Amino acid sequence: MAIRPLNKDKKVVKRTKKFIRHQSDRYIKVKQNWRKPKGIDNRVRRRFKGQYKMPNIGYGTAKKVKHVLPDGFKKFVVHNISELEVLLMQNRTFAAEIAHNVSSKKRKLIVERAQQLAIKVTNPNARLRSEDDE
């Protein structure tokens, strides 16, 4: 049976559109990456009606659901088995993610140990080859 998270709250996304830079649609040299307008007469900075919205703290994510994956767990990067055992008491809150620089031999051991401790691993099949290929 799959390990289920302790509490799975719905994440409220306040804005899905990107904030684009003022006049980036007008000039190619002005990239779309957001930069805060600093001009004294700038209408975006002065928040005139019909202008681009500026990012501010109100668009932030609630603390309770920040860094939570869609399955309800938070990610914890693991490099070896001893780091995996840190999650023993937190296995309903955190899911282990095996670091990118861990060898396939060690990955097998980590995934095996995670099953024994009932810890969810987000990338258990990475670098896993079947016996036929070898």
Structural contact between residues 73 and 53, judged by C-beta atoms closer than 8 angstroms: no
* pLDDT over 90 at 95, yes or no: yes
Least confident of 9-13, 59-63, 74-78: 9-13
pTM of the model: 0.76
Residue 131's pLDDT band (cuts 50, 70, 90): low
Distance of alpha carbon 20 from alpha carbon 33, whole angstroms: 6
The per-residue pLDDT for 7 is 82
Which helix (H) or strand (E) segment holds residue 113: the answer is helix 104-116
The per-residue pLDDT for 2 is 76
Mean predicted lDDT score pLDDT of the chain: 91
Q: 92: which residues sit within 8 A by CB, 6+ positions away? A: 3, 4, 5, 6
Residue type, 39: G
The per-residue pLDDT for 103 is 94
Which helix (H) or strand (E) segment holds residue 75: the answer is strand 74-78
3-state secondary structure of 10: coil
H, E, C per residue of 31-55: CCCCCCCCCCCCCCCCCCCCCCCCC
Residue 130's pLDDT band (cuts 50, 70, 90): low
